[in-house]
Amino acid sequence: MNKKKKSKIIQKILNDIYPKVPVPLNYRNTFTLLVSVLLSAQCTDVNVNNVTKNIYPKYNHPKHFVKLGRRKIENLIKKIGIFRIKAKSIYYLSKTLVKKYNSKVPHSYEELEQLPGVGHKTASVVMSQGFGYPAFPVDTHIHRLAQRWGLTNGKNVVQTEKDLKAIFPKKSWNRLHLQIIWFGREYCKARDCFGLTCKICKSCYPNRKKKFTAKKA
């Protein structure tokens, strides 16, 4: 089965399961989306949401975090992994937004990726969910599932993103990447399925007998 045929099967299954796709992270505006995505590195979205629900009602603007300073930001997010590094990034990216962008989140990959603590994946999420720009952010779930489904060789997340963009229609990217994330959490889990039991794996590889080991991101 070629990749194009697989892509149609995958989209059909995902659209049936997730006709409406919730955004995993809770946020109030584009700035708080940026902060939440930054906080989610090496941390579950559930944990991030549990922490930010007590932050965003009061602090939701770059000037708020500049005024707080690094130590107070650390105290607010201390239940999140590597919180000191993240607090430093949040503080300095907030300062940059205030000084350089009039407290607005920039609308381009180049400018976003120049902000402290912001890499390509974070920028992609903001461009997609914050601004509606077609993007395909690749997290660990997407990287794993794309390999299990035979859509990429798993060399690295850059290659996976490139391969997925070449296979799926551009208009589907923003919705599809969220659908794949949810499917990876609920049906094709890291320590389950192994390319053998979920509906998509069985549809793409009906004759697969051995567990498939995906390369890590």
The terminus-to-terminus CA distance of the chain in angstroms comes to 25
Active-site annotation, residues: 121, 139
Q: Please provide the CATH number assigned to the domain covering 30-130.
A: 1.10.340.30
* Fold assignment, 3-21+136-204: Endonuclease Iii, domain 2 (1.10.1670)
In the chain, list all ranges with CATH 1.10.340.30.
30-130
Model confidence at 18: pLDDT above 80: yes
State mean pLDDT over 84-98. 98
* Residues 109-137 pLDDT 10s: 999 999 999 999 999 999 999 999 999 99
* Residues 28-72 pLDDT 10s: 999 999 999 999 988 999 999 999 999 999 999 999 999 999 999
Model confidence at 154: pLDDT above 90: no
**Predicted structure pTM score:** 0.92
